[in-house]
A and B are shown apart, each in its own frame.
Chain A
């Protein structure tokens, strides 16, 4: 007789005392079939909690016997409670547990059947049926004999129950009376685990789009061999997330394709809702074929007409087997470590690596919450409950682009609805996709179309109010703390442009990482250049930094494009770095229409095949937004400083015969007065009277995105050249000077240029690595560093900041936090724009925008 032990689950031993349960298990340990830790025994648990496995109360006085009996009962109860919790824990962790106890009563067994079921694990029972005489004989030789009466009682109970055990619901029940003539087999390979080996290409829902599937495989590098099999030269294999059939034009061809490839060990496929439906239909179950399943039936009718009944039956049988046996999910392992899970519609963390009816059901349909008015399931978001580091790849629910949320990746891009068929290359973690040749659906309930309709729905506040994480490409997961998230929700609810239009908040920028090594400078280009060089960046771009107010411009080709992208007929929107409307409505309208005319006259939108352009810019003059601040702070301070210092200087000067110390005071005040005048001169440099729109200047520095692409892959030289193009198209745009740094000579040139413009009072320059997103040893680098001029800094650090005593102290500034915020905000910005361009929901874009606003509520020295 063969006894098959599951890889994980429960093995329940049943039999009276002395029937050999412990011996049987000990034997298995010796054979290496099970580990000692896989045994949980009631006797041992009694020892663990009560130091003894048995208390004999017989042959005692009544009072003593009663007390001992009570003691034994108490210890037993505690021992079983420990045992149960131990077993549950092991089940939760997907381990095998062999339970060594008598299990003579149905309730004892039922308990473990329930535990196994609850944790989606198999349970098998092994019943030891030994003669009473043998049991009594064995009892004599054991250390703590249970006594004849007790054994006989147990045997009586056992006999009474024996024949019912089989029906109690075990995966298998084995009866053994002699332990010699049997072999115990332990499953060793996990049926759900797949080794990644040469790489696996996971493919989303195909739905009979056979031609697109072939194109995708070819794009992935698979080649057709003489046997008509698609084989990868590097030995990669492909894995389907299910739903390979139904809705689309070539379900049979696709299924036949998978049948052959799976047979040859070249491909894998998991269970799915359509797959399960077709399997049951093929199995002769009474099912209603709908939602595109009826097309499979039609194809079979045609198939039969062509190939005859026999061939069709044969084909159906093979398909049925394939589909019924498809596992609920696969766990991909790298060097034996599970790192990725493939499932069709979803999975719970506690289901991973286990199989049961409920798990299959969940993996097929996901988490659903009843049905809506039209009878379609309301899908609940299971992804938010995913907590472990294992990546889960799934399909089922079409999204316009691969959607990465909370370490889950949806790769169903609705090929059958005219979308894309996506493959996720693992372990490379790359997406490869092909476009559908057409929309194969009947036009009703196209999920891609519906997604677009819902794209601008108000974001669900529940996603943000307790703080949240944003997964960014550039910097990984970024945590947004609750307190700052709430502050930003307040801002968005009161002051900013509408959420749909607020697609990007520009990041803060760090000044030079180290203060200038020169004695009388706080900031100098050398330190910025050194920082990048030390990170292995050889080519940099130095751009003039304008002094105005940051402005984001989202310019649409026409009002229809506005309606499409932000839900409002508008030519665009211009807002500040805190998301507030930059101009009053009238001015904004005038500026937008001028820009629209300018861009259209140059065929900008046609030339770049775009419906919008998103621009990051500086808008001047400074007083446009800051007039009140300049007047009440900067001008006010200048007036008071000059008045104070000039009066003191005059008084000190007017003294005829001067004390030596008085001379020093006079010198001091003479210098201080000069500083006050510099201060007054500097802030006026950025201000001029605005009487008409033409006096406004807008200097773009990043062309962030068009409707079909972002430009984070373009070097800053490209962005600067684009800016020139904008200046040519519309006079409100101004060009920005820049210099490329790639050697000593160009470095000198930049420093010289910086000296020149800043001594004239210009704010300074920004130095960026040539590549928009730059890393060093896998770490994201500061995307830009500002180097502000010596004169300009008077209005930041105070008019006397250059006084050696002051400068010495100011050079101790710490920019660590500023740098961290700069990286986080930059990554959030890039992420948000990518999501916007990918057509993701505004809720997902807003996650990034709100995140950046939240970062800005984190206090940091504003002078940096």
Chain B
């Protein structure tokens, strides 16, 4: 990680006073085992070229990063790329320049614009070259970007992910550095390596006089402060990720729940309901409000989903007539005595996430061991994908199959070989005259109930 400052022309030697660095000396300070270093490559009347760089202690870095025991955290780019760590390391070495507090006699030079060239890197960023340039250009810089080598014995990538940036423009040293100190963490990919508590204050201070006018101000602030709300941010992102299905599906979800509830309301026995594969608890929550329901088992193997479901349930718990679902860690691949002899078991958009060949065994466990009075199954209707103008792909990346109405009907009938249940087929969503409903449903009702 390095930053070079170069200037040519008159009075450029004044820069050494603004930096408070003697051009004849090397600078080296140890910051918790990492070396912050500086040398002047050029110091003449017409040209000054100074480089600041950090030689980190890799062991110290990995030790501080060892909380997450993941091998990638040992082999990582933090040791090399410019990031908020780099800015923190450099803050003291560049303190005089950043704060604009040289010896009194040089103070007027703080406000003097030099033809400056800052080059820094390597940079690991998801932003494109154009996006990077678009952040500097409004500040009056020309931007040049060079790439590392991506020459491998096989095709890992076409372009290197290591970049080096050079910006040129006429500006004061303080302004240039302050802009870099705000923007470097903005470029950097890393989500939560280093969180500086004074981040907000820093942006306010370093952003003074330029950030408010920057056309991408909001973007910069959001990116720079992403650490602060990293958790809530993350949560939002995952929620968005699970809803990646085509637009009409969002509404379809609600229709599906509505239909299931409507069906349950028509059933004579509904005291105990099992929501198998309850995920984040959206359906279970709604089941809690059905009249006549006395117990809901929300069965889900994923602990993270269960925690989200619990939050959801707790929010509505105080409401009247709400039956708090009981959360159970479990899955379709195990036998679970707690699920025996319930009134209703629901598999809402679950089976299509399981390899087809594994389903008969699961259905056998449900129908012959758990023996619910009713079983409600929903799954996508593949025919309807034509309405979404989908090709052969599935509606969700994790779907192992999607069935036509015929396939679904035949499959359901096959699961009912013992003839212990009555099957009623139905659909959910907006009906298409050719392709039927987007979601298909089957209600298994135990005979003689």
Count of chain B residues with a beta carbon within 8 Å of a chain A beta carbon: 60
Q: Mark A792-807, 1 if CB is under 8 A from B, else 0.
A: 0001111011000010
Q: Are B335 and A648 in contact (CB under 8 A)?
A: no
Q: How far is the CA of A499 from the CA of B70 in the complex (A)?
A: 26
Q: Are A798 and B62 in contact (CB under 8 A)?
A: yes
Q: Are B39 and A863 in contact (CB under 8 A)?
A: no
Q: Mark B26-46, 1 if CB is under 8 A from A, else 0.
A: 101000000001010100000
Question: Contacts A636-B77, A806-B59 given: A490-B148 contact, CB under 8 Å?
Answer: no
Enumerate chain A residues within 8 angstroms of B358, measured Cβ to Cβ.
498
- Most chain A beta-carbon contacts within 10 A, residue among B4, B39, B66, B76: B39
Q: Which residue of B lies closest to A627 (CB)?
A: B156
Enumerate chain B residues within 8 angstroms of A651, measured Cβ to Cβ.
4, 41, 51
Enumerate chain A residues within 8 angstroms of B362, measured Cβ to Cβ.
458
Enumerate chain A residues within 8 angstroms of B160, measured Cβ to Cβ.
639, 643
Q: Which residue of A lies closest to B33 (CB)?
A: A805
| A182 at interface, CB cutoff 8 A | no
Q: Are B74 and A689 in contact (CB under 8 A)?
A: no
| B361 at interface, CB cutoff 8 A | yes
Q: Are A458 and B365 in contact (CB under 8 A)?
A: yes
Q: Are B156 and A806 in contact (CB under 8 A)?
A: no
| A405 at interface, CB cutoff 8 A | no
For window 631-685 of A, CB contacts with B under 8 Å fall at 631-637, 639-644, 647-648, 651-652, 654-655, 659, 661-662, 665, 668, 684
Q: How far is the CA of A790 from the CA of B394 in the complex (A)?
A: 48
| B149 at interface, CB cutoff 8 A | yes
Q: Are B156 and A631 in contact (CB under 8 A)?
A: yes
Question: Contacts A460-B337, A640-B162 given: A798-B39 contact, CB under 8 Å?
Answer: no
Enumerate chain B residues within 8 angstroms of A457, measured Cβ to Cβ.
335, 365
Q: Are A465 and B329 in contact (CB under 8 A)?
A: yes
Q: Are B72 and A668 in contact (CB under 8 A)?
A: no
Which of B41, B70, B162 has a CB less than 8 Å from the CB of A643? B162
Q: Are B148 and A459 in contact (CB under 8 A)?
A: no
- Most chain A beta-carbon contacts within 10 A, residue among B28, B124, B334: B334
Q: How far is the CB of A692 from chain B (nearest CB, A)?
A: 14
Q: How far is the CB of B23 from chain A (nearest CB, A)?
A: 11
Q: Are B1 and A637 in contact (CB under 8 A)?
A: no
Q: Are B355 and A661 in contact (CB under 8 A)?
A: no
Q: How far is the CB of A22 from chain B (nearest CB, A)?
A: 55
Q: Which residue of B lies closest to A843 (CB)?
A: B335
Q: Which residue of A lies closest to B334 (CB)?
A: A461
Q: Are A623 and B154 in contact (CB under 8 A)?
A: yes
| B421 at interface, CB cutoff 8 A | no
Q: Are B337 and A633 in contact (CB under 8 A)?
A: no
Q: How far is the CA of A659 from the CA of B39 in the complex (A)?
A: 10
| B349 at interface, CB cutoff 8 A | no
Enumerate chain B residues within 8 angstroms of A639, measured Cβ to Cβ.
122, 148-150, 160-162
Q: Are A687 and B154 in contact (CB under 8 A)?
A: yes
- Most chain B beta-carbon contacts within 10 A, residue among A458, A465, A623: A458
For window 146-171 of B, CB contacts with A under 8 Å fall at 148-150, 152-157, 160-162, 164
Q: Which residue of A lies closest to B70 (CB)?
A: A862
Question: Contacts A636-B124, A643-B164 given: A661-B53 contact, CB under 8 Å?
Answer: no
Q: Are A644 and B74 in contact (CB under 8 A)?
A: no
Q: Are B333 and A499 in contact (CB under 8 A)?
A: yes
Q: How far is the CB of B165 from chain A (nearest CB, A)?
A: 12
Q: Which residue of B lies closest to A633 (CB)?
A: B72
Enumerate chain A residues within 8 angstroms of B2, measured Cβ to Cβ.
644, 647-648
Q: Are B336 and A643 in contact (CB under 8 A)?
A: no
| A126 at interface, CB cutoff 8 A | no
| A688 at interface, CB cutoff 8 A | yes
Q: Are B154 and A689 in contact (CB under 8 A)?
A: yes
- Chain A facing B: main interface SS: helix
Enumerate chain A residues within 8 angstroms of B75, measured Cβ to Cβ.
633-634, 637, 795-796, 798
Q: Are B355 and A461 in contact (CB under 8 A)?
A: no
Which of B37, B152, B355 has a CB less than 8 Å from the CB of A665? B37
| B109 at interface, CB cutoff 8 A | no
Which of B4, B62, B66, B77 has a CB less than 8 Å from the CB of A640? B77
Q: Are B152 and A635 in contact (CB under 8 A)?
A: yes
| A487 at interface, CB cutoff 8 A | yes
| A376 at interface, CB cutoff 8 A | no
Enumerate chain B residues within 8 angstroms of A795, measured Cβ to Cβ.
75
Question: Contacts A665-B37, A806-B58 given: A489-B301 contact, CB under 8 Å?
Answer: yes
| A809 at interface, CB cutoff 8 A | yes
Q: Are B329 and A486 in contact (CB under 8 A)?
A: yes
| A567 at interface, CB cutoff 8 A | yes
| B243 at interface, CB cutoff 8 A | no
Which of B76, B152, B357 has a CB less than 8 Å from the CB of A568? B357
Q: How far is the CA of A265 from the CA of B282 in the complex (A)?
A: 71
Q: How far is the CA of A484 from the CA of B246 in the complex (A)?
A: 36
Q: How far is the CB of B398 from chain A (nearest CB, A)?
A: 9
Enumerate chain A residues within 8 angstroms of B357, measured Cβ to Cβ.
568
Q: Are B156 and A637 in contact (CB under 8 A)?
A: no
| A284 at interface, CB cutoff 8 A | no
Q: Mark A438-468, 1 if CB is under 8 A from B, else 0.
A: 0000000000000000001111111001000
| B79 at interface, CB cutoff 8 A | yes
- Most chain B beta-carbon contacts within 10 A, residue among A492, A629, A636, A652: A636
Q: How far is the CA of A841 from the CA of B79 in the complex (A)?
A: 51
Q: Mark B44-55, 1 if CB is under 8 A from A, else 0.
A: 000000010101
Q: Which residue of B lies closest to A808 (CB)?
A: B59
| A7 at interface, CB cutoff 8 A | no
| B332 at interface, CB cutoff 8 A | yes
Which of A627, A637, A659, A797 has a CB less than 8 Å from the CB of B80? A637
Q: How far is the CA of A161 from the CA of B223 in the complex (A)?
A: 94
- Most chain A beta-carbon contacts within 10 A, residue among B75, B77, B124, B153: B75
| A385 at interface, CB cutoff 8 A | no
Q: Which residue of A lies closest to B353 (CB)?
A: A494
Q: How far is the CA of A494 from the CA of B34 in the complex (A)?
A: 43
Q: Mark A809-836, 1 if CB is under 8 A from B, else 0.
A: 1100000000000000000000000000
Enumerate chain B residues within 8 angstroms of A862, measured Cβ to Cβ.
69-71, 74
Q: Which residue of A lies closest to B365 (CB)?
A: A458
Q: Which residue of B lies closest to A499 (CB)?
A: B333
Q: How far is the CA of A642 from the CA of B79 in the complex (A)?
A: 12
Q: How far is the CB of A357 from chain B (nearest CB, A)?
A: 31
Q: Mark B11-36, 1 if CB is under 8 A from A, else 0.
A: 00000000000000010100000000
Q: How far is the CA of A655 from the CA of B58 in the complex (A)?
A: 27
Enumerate chain B residues within 8 angstroms of A662, measured Cβ to Cβ.
26, 39
Question: Contacts A639-B148, A863-B74 given: A489-B331 contact, CB under 8 Å?
Answer: yes
Enumerate chain B residues within 8 angstroms of A860, measured Cβ to Cβ.
69
Q: How far is the CA of A687 from the CA of B155 in the complex (A)?
A: 10
Q: How far is the CB of A635 from chain B (nearest CB, A)?
A: 5
Q: How far is the CB of A379 from chain B (nearest CB, A)?
A: 15
- Most chain A beta-carbon contacts within 10 A, residue among B148, B329, B335: B148
Q: How far is the CA of A629 from the CA of B73 in the complex (A)?
A: 12
| A778 at interface, CB cutoff 8 A | no
The 14 listed contacts between A and B (C-beta, < 8 Å) are: A457-B335, A458-B334, A460-B337, A461-B336, A490-B302, A635-B150, A635-B161, A636-B77, A637-B76, A640-B161, A648-B51, A655-B41, A798-B59, A800-B58
Q: Which residues of A contact B (CB under 8 A)?
A: 456-462, 465, 486-487, 489-490, 492-494, 498-499, 567-568, 623, 627, 629-637, 639-644, 647-648, 651-652, 654-655, 659, 661-662, 665, 668, 684, 687-689, 795-798, 800-801, 806, 809-810, 859-863
Q: Which residues of B contact A (CB under 8 A)?
A: 1-2, 4, 26, 28, 37, 39, 41, 51, 53, 55, 58-59, 62, 66, 69-72, 74-77, 79-81, 121-122, 124, 148-150, 152-157, 160-162, 164, 301-303, 329-337, 355, 357-358, 361-362, 365
Closest 7 CB pairs of A and B: A493-B331, A493-B301, A461-B334, A639-B162, A639-B148, A643-B148, A640-B80
Known: A644-B162, A684-B152. 12 other contacts (CB 8 A): A458-B334, A460-B337, A462-B336, A493-B302, A627-B156, A630-B156, A633-B75, A635-B157, A639-B161, A643-B148, A659-B39, A688-B154
